[in-house]
Chain A
Amino acid sequence: MRHSSRIAILFIAAALASSLAAQTFDRYHKPDELNAAFRDLAKANAAFARIHELAKSPGGRDVLLIEIGPETGKADKTLPAVFVAANFEGTVPLAGEAALFLAKQLVEKPDVRKDKTWYILSCPNPDAAARFFSKPLRVAAGNDTRWNDDNDEAVDEDGFEDLNGDGLITMMRVKDPEGAWIPVPGNPRLMKRADWAKGETGIYKLVTEGLDNDKDGVYNEDPPGGVNIGLQFPHLFKFFSPGAGLWAGSEAESFAVIKFVHEHREIGLSFVFGAADFCLSPPRGGRRGDADLDRIRVPERMAGFIGADPARVYSLAELIELVRPMVPEGMTVDESMIAGMLDLGAVVNPLADDLKFYKELSEKYKDFLKNNKLDEKRLDPPADKDGSFELYAYYHLGLPSFAQNLWTLPEFKEEKKDAEITPEKLEKMTKDEFLALGEEKIEAFLKSAGAPPSFKAKQVIEMVQSGKTTPAQMAEMMKKMPKPPSEEGADPKEKALLAWSDKELSGKGFVEWTPFKHPTLGDVEIGGAAPFADSTPPPAKIESLLAGRVPWVFELAAKMARVGIGRAKATALGGGLYEVEAWVENTGYLPYPTAMGRRNNRIFPVLVTLEGPGIQFLEGRAKSSVSSVGSGDSQKVRWLIRSEKPVKLEIKASTRSAWGGRTSLDLGGVK
């Protein structure tokens, strides 16, 4: 390459880099814009970043992954990698922004990318993600695969219609004798199911906004949009359930992701930006699996073989002890072997050993949020979903798998009703004590007691002053008044949304119920929660939310298992015989591998090699393995060798996803 062209490229690169640096997080980016930003990022930083084109969605959109790290471009990696993915369901735009934010940080901070590779997948479900930028707005996680949701003779023939033209798909409420819903008495914008036990009778049916295009009596039951990529992974995949698709990996997007993570065994940590949150709390437990691992019964035919009592129950650990003496030398007995032998089926709950790090790190995460002033009370993030990538990464890939929710609605705080005055207190008050309360407090009291709006504090004060009434009489009257309408029965999430909408969105998060003449339903009202208002904060908040949460992934990456050789020594036994010992250790925080990784046998052991010119092995092999090294743990490997000359020995511990290390020993210096 000629000098001038090189300079030109440098210029272009600098221009690109600066345009990117100028990019701020004050709006949401369409999938195509996210992809373009990633491509620009890779182009501008070709020395350490590149794009992997994983797939094309059914809607013709690219699924891209950016690789950032010192080994970018090398096919065989020696450094471990962190796999980060965002927005598998396509319904959490903030997650996509987080991926871009992270990539930018990695570019800007050489320190966090110096000793590992980062794979960042910004938009694995671009078809669904694009819907956030189209009208009318609705939350739908399906990609553009055509899907016959209602199983009739036509496909995608009954979608939603924005009847009131506000650009949003909300709800319709229609009076119907079979209606099960009523407005919440204390908050008539919200709806609740009528409770017969309270003497309530349903008034409304709730139907999504739209027409019955296929005239089958059901509304909007077969809209365009097919498979939710966030449900497309093989752990607990839900066959024949809505949005799940035909099978795990039946879609191009998910298949490409599955293939990628298997072809990149250097991945040692998985992190997902999305709805569920494994940073705050561990993956959900309490699922019913095929077997209770603490109470395993050994079938009769097997019991005799391994010397177990078929009448009693065993833990997995007890069975390992039972089987260990029976297997040939050199064969390891582990959970996975026992589980396979007894056909215990899939693990469905996080293993106890792994819960330890999940719980410990969750405490640290809470501190981290506190430090970043993001610890206010918020609604709980949605639970993890069967078939999600984050569960798959833990249960099938055996990785420490984290998911991070970036924003949920602030919890709705009941406005503290001014309970300073109650009828009971009032009863005992003197006239002066009452008047001393002042107009404001008396007004609040009247409101909370359910007095008619026409009944003003001023009037009351006058009446008390003039002696027309006394506090005791008023208390008596108040006690007889009907109770104020209650907000009981309202969905706390909807209450939180209403409060948020009123306070932060000038009411745009909730559409007031407005009458509409529906062609088949007649008089209806259209209104309710605006799509995305509960999951997607206004653009002005993006940057601060990301800056306060995304860097947690750096904390986790710094805690990855780090395998190396701690101590090594050789002892001369005489006659050219040496005993060589080396300790394989894990100086990281996370175990190598996770307990689940030991159980599913997917993470390869640490390979330990001993080399030296002309040495002979009397015990131990040139290549041996250590199946796991816990955090702060070290595992001894021992050899007995013969060497005529005082040669130099090389000892190497290698792994795909936890660094590894080497050391040398000079037999010349050994006594």
Chain B
Amino acid sequence: MKRTACASLILAAFLLAPAAAQKSTVNLPLRFDRYYTLAELNEALQALRNAYPDLMTIEEVGKSEEGRAIMAATINNPKTGPALAKPGVYVDGNIHGNEIQGGEICLYLVDYLLGQYGRNKDVTGLVDQNCFYIVPVVNVDGRYHFFADPNHSSSNRGLRIPVDDDRDGSTDEDFPDDLDGDGSITQMRRRDPFGQYKTDPEDPRLMVRTKPGEQGEWTVLGEEGLDNDGDGRINEDAEGYVDPNRQWSFDWAPEYIQGGSGDYPFQAVGLKSLALWTLTKTNICIGWSFHNNGGMYLRGPARKGLGEYPSQDVAVYDYIGKQAERITPGYRYLLSWRDLYTTYGDSVEWMVRYLGAYAYCGEVFQRETETFKDLGEKAAAASGGEAGRQRQFASMVERIKYSDNLTQGEQYKPWTPYKHPVYGDVEIGGWVKMSSRLGAPFTMPDLVHRNAMAVLFSAKHTPDVGLDVFEVKKLGNNLYRVRTRLVNPKAMPSMSYQAQRDKLYPLDQLTVTGASARVVAGGLLTNADLDRVAYKKYRPEIQFLAVPGFGRVEHQFLVEGRGSVTIRYVSRHGGTVEKKVEF
């Protein structure tokens, strides 16, 4: 750990010093055909905040293990009401250190909402009627180290909580080492006539497995590195591994059940701060967490044993999920435990269970899109069948051609000889850090835009409850019948059915009050035509309810008195509406 930390400090100093001296690379309008380091991303947020001070605030929600700030942007138009009074939309990214695109999606979403405000009618409406909470980088240490340190596209996912992976009493003491100093951890191979690989006849930079009886050519020695702790193993105790997306407190399970879960829920200080911060945002109706990769919009439950969500909630997920699939062609809307795998203690399930939100995990970027094929070939591959599948799996050749022709070779490092202290003459090469799970920068504008649009589709379906007093009828001396209707034209109900099942927080309240009036009876109007009412015995002046998506709820009150009454609807997610009725 120490050695690597030193090395990365030196490297960081080396990388940052000239950067600080140079003019900033972050300028408005922001460009999205690039990736942002953590510092650049925070700088970009600040620049947006400076440009749109009336609509945006930024704040630090907490600090990470290594003391880096986790930043949140809030987009709210105070002129149309305080943030907590509007349906909240929460979006985060980059909870896994290497899955950086979420940061750019969040940044783009902020930029788009602010930039289009006052220009585009729909966006103006969204900004005026909703509140957006955006946390571009959850794993700030991860993003920092992913850029600053040598990595490959799948390394550096975890939190900076030391873990003794090899159980030898020392933690994080045998990282991979960037032997060729190119900033990427690639592969090592050695010539070996008994090896299991031979040079790919289609492209000499690639290898294929030998068939039984065939002469070998190469042995693959694994990731670039040394045996730093002298235990006869190489790279067996790298950073962490506590997985920030297995640390959340709902359905957390210990390591023997869920690898990477850490010692206990919210052992990670940054995650805990973020979780507690989101709990104060009681208006959050929908949550998105962006990861890479595979092209999926996943919904919970995260584990079969949790049972399916209430069917009315599934209908909401389906409605939004199926639209998101169309907004982002090639992506699939899936059920996480069934279609991907079981997880315990992930953040999406946490949002569902503790925020009472609908929540999706967006797995952005599909490796299959990086091909050097014409449309006909793509169709053949997509048509399925054994031939199609083989072509898809044989995509290494396609990908290296793509790298050659669309990124001018940036994604693949050619094999280069190296003298290894243990293995002797080896070659180092392969897919570089900024490849494989990370699309070429020129494809990013499309990726960030489409995913941001999926978020906006969901934002358009946060509850929007209206109150209508559709009848005031005098029944007798000072006795009035008042009928109310709460209407919600959006897909999301005013309280999720899962939250209702868990009794997460009180239902919405509809109250009738008047200075010289008293509610004698009141209850749910189940059939207005036949005058069927389920009267509430105690406290008829307050009714507890939730307004369904694309639906309505009607109540009837028998009020004795004179003057006027105030009918008031209060909901965490549905807002507050008030009507006055004169008798």
Contact = CB atoms under 8 A, between A and B. Distances in A.
A247 B544 CA distance: 26
A601 B165 CA distance: 12
Contacts of A270: none
A477 B304 CA distance: 69
Contacts of B263: 262
Contact of A216 (B254, B305, B538): B538
Contact of B249 (A151, A246, A346, A599): A246
Nearest to A335: B256
A343 interface: yes
Given A247-B249, A249-B264, A215 B538 contact: yes
Contact of B264 (A153, A258, A600, A607): A258
B290 interface: no
A437 B459 CA distance: 92
A177 interface: no
Contact of B256 (A340, A604, A607): A340
B257 A340 contact: yes
A452 interface: no
Nearest to A217: B538
A600 B231 contact: no
Interface string B538-559: 1100101000000000000000
B119 interface: no
8 contacts: A234-B252, A239-B353, A247-B265, A248-B265, A249-B264, A262-B267, A601-B255, A623-B168
Sorted nearest first, the 5 A-B pairs with minimum C-beta distance are A247-B249, A217-B538, A600-B256, A240-B502, A262-B263
Given A151-B507, A250-B249, 19 more contacts: A148-B506, A151-B503, A153-B542, A215-B539, A216-B538, A240-B502, A247-B250, A247-B252, A247-B265, A248-B264, A249-B265, A262-B263, A339-B256, A339-B257, A345-B305, A346-B257, A396-B254, A623-B231, A625-B168
Interface in A246-298: 246-250, 255, 258-259, 262, 290
B538 A340 contact: no
Contacts of A111: none
A249 B167 contact: no
Nearest to B511: A153
B505 interface: yes
Interface string A95-133: 000000000000000000000000000000000000000
Nearest to B538: A217
Contacts of A217: 537-538
> DSSP majority for the A interface?
loop
Nearest to A336: B256
Contacts of B255: 600-602
A240 B537 contact: no
Contacts of A343: 342
A345 B257 contact: yes
A331 to B, nearest CB: 11
Interface residues of A, number: 40
Most chain B CB atoms below 10 A, which of A234, A259, A339, A396: A234
A262 B264 contact: yes
Contact of A234 (B265, B502, B509, B544): B265
Nearest to B253: A346
Contacts of A290: 305
Contacts of A61: none
Interface string B168-180: 1100000000000
Contacts of A625: 167-168
Contacts, number: 89
A239 B503 contact: no
Interface in A578-607: 599-602, 604-605, 607
Contacts of A622: 230
Given A248-B265, A290-B305, A600-B256, A607 B537 contact: no
A599 B254 CA distance: 11
Interface string B243-281: 000000111111111010001111100000000000000
A49 B38 CA distance: 46
A201 to B, nearest CB: 25
B75 to A, nearest CB: 28
A605 B266 CA distance: 26
B544 A152 contact: yes
B254 A600 contact: yes
Contacts of A240: 502-504
B535 interface: no
Interface residues of B, number: 38
B232 interface: yes
Nearest to B232: A621
A345 B544 CA distance: 39
Given A234-B264, A259-B264, A605 B254 contact: no
Interface of A: 148, 151-153, 214-217, 234, 239-240, 246-250, 255, 258-259, 262, 290, 336, 339-340, 343, 345-346, 396, 599-602, 604-605, 607, 621-623, 625, 654
A607 B254 contact: no
A235 to B, nearest CB: 8
B254 A602 contact: yes
B354 interface: yes
A255 B272 CA distance: 12
A344 to B, nearest CB: 8
Contacts of A151: 503, 505-507
Contacts of B305: 290, 345
Contacts of A248: 249, 252, 264-265
A259 B263 CA distance: 9
A186 B532 CA distance: 49
Contacts of A148: 505-506
A386 B232 CA distance: 44
A216 B169 contact: no
Contacts of B506: 148, 151-153
A601 B256 contact: yes
A166 to B, nearest CB: 29
Contacts of B353: 239
Interface string B482-515: 0000000000000000000011111101000000
Contacts of B342: 343
A623 B174 CA distance: 15
Contacts of A247: 249-250, 252, 265, 354
Given A249-B249, A249-B266, A623-B231, A604 B167 contact: yes
Contacts of B250: 239, 247
A600 B264 CA distance: 13
Nearest to A627: B167
B503 to A, nearest CB: 5
Contact of A246 (B230, B251, B256, B354): B354
Interface in B198-254: 230-232, 249-254
A216 B252 CA distance: 36
A153 B249 contact: no
A619 to B, nearest CB: 11
Contacts of B505: 148, 151
B507 to A, nearest CB: 7
Nearest to B230: A622
A521 to B, nearest CB: 14
Interface in B327-347: 342
A339 to B, nearest CB: 6
Interface in B30-67: none
Given A247-B250, A249-B249, A607-B169, A599 B502 contact: no
B265 to A, nearest CB: 6
A248 B262 CA distance: 14
Contacts of A255: 266
B520 to A, nearest CB: 15
Nearest to B537: A217
Contacts of A345: 257, 305
Contacts of A258: 264
A254 to B, nearest CB: 10
B44 to A, nearest CB: 34
Contacts of B267: 259, 262
Contacts of A623: 168-169, 231
A234 B167 contact: no
